[in-house]
Amino acid sequence: MDKRNIIKKYSNGEVTIVWKPGDCIHSTICFRGLGEVFDPQKRPWVTPEHSTTEKIVAQIKKCPSGALSYYMNSDTEQTQVEVKSETIVETSPNGPLLVYGNVVIKDKEGILTKKNNVTAFCRCGASSNKPYCDGSHKRINFVD
C-alpha cells in the first residue's frame, strides 16, 4: 500500500488526531513539544489520553507538514481545522520552506489543492512528493 494513502486516527473521546504518515516530514516538533502524547518509540506512537485536548490542539497546529490534523468529536462534520490568519513564509534552516496560513497550490496538471495551518515545501530538490517536503533534506544532508 502507498504510504501517502494511509490515514490513522487516535482519540481521547473529545478530540480525534488524524495522522497521515505519507505527509510527515519528521520535523520532530510533535514529540519535542508534547512527548506524553507523541512518542515515536512506543506503539501506538500517539496516545491522546495522556494530555488535555487544549494542549493536543495547540501542538497539532505547529505541525509543519500538515501530517497531523484534528477534529472535535462533537462536530457533526469531521473536517480539518482551517487557520484564519495572514500567510507567513519562513525558511527553515537546512530544511523546507514553511508557509503558515491558508494557501492554494496548483500542480503541474492544473489541479488545485487547498492547504491550511502549515505547509512545508521542498527546497533541496530531493523530495519524492514535490512540491512538498518529505524529509529528504535530512537524508542528503542539505545545507543552505
Are 21 and 57 in the same domain?
Answer: yes
Residue carrying the nine cell digits 543552505:
144
- The answer to whether residue 77 sits within a structural domain is no
On whether residue 31 sits in a domain, the answer given is yes
Is there a domain that residue 144 lies in? no
- Residue 27 inside a domain? The answer is yes
* 21-78 pLDDT, tens digit each: 888 888 899 999 999 999 999 989 999 999 999 999 999 999 888 889 999 988 654 4
Evaluate whether residue 103 is within a structural domain.
yes
Which residue did the predictor score with more confidence, 96 or 84? 96
- Within this chain, do residues 16 and 66 fall inside the same structural domain, yes or no? yes
Q: Are residues 7 and 36 in the same domain?
A: yes
Parent domain of 103: 88-139
SS (H, E, C) 22-64: HHCCCCCHHHHHCCCCECCCCCCCECHHHCCHHHHHHHHCCCC
Say what the pLDDT of residue 24 is: 87
Structural domains counted in the chain: 2
Residue 121 has pLDDT above 80, yes or no: yes
Q: State the pTM of this model.
A: 0.59
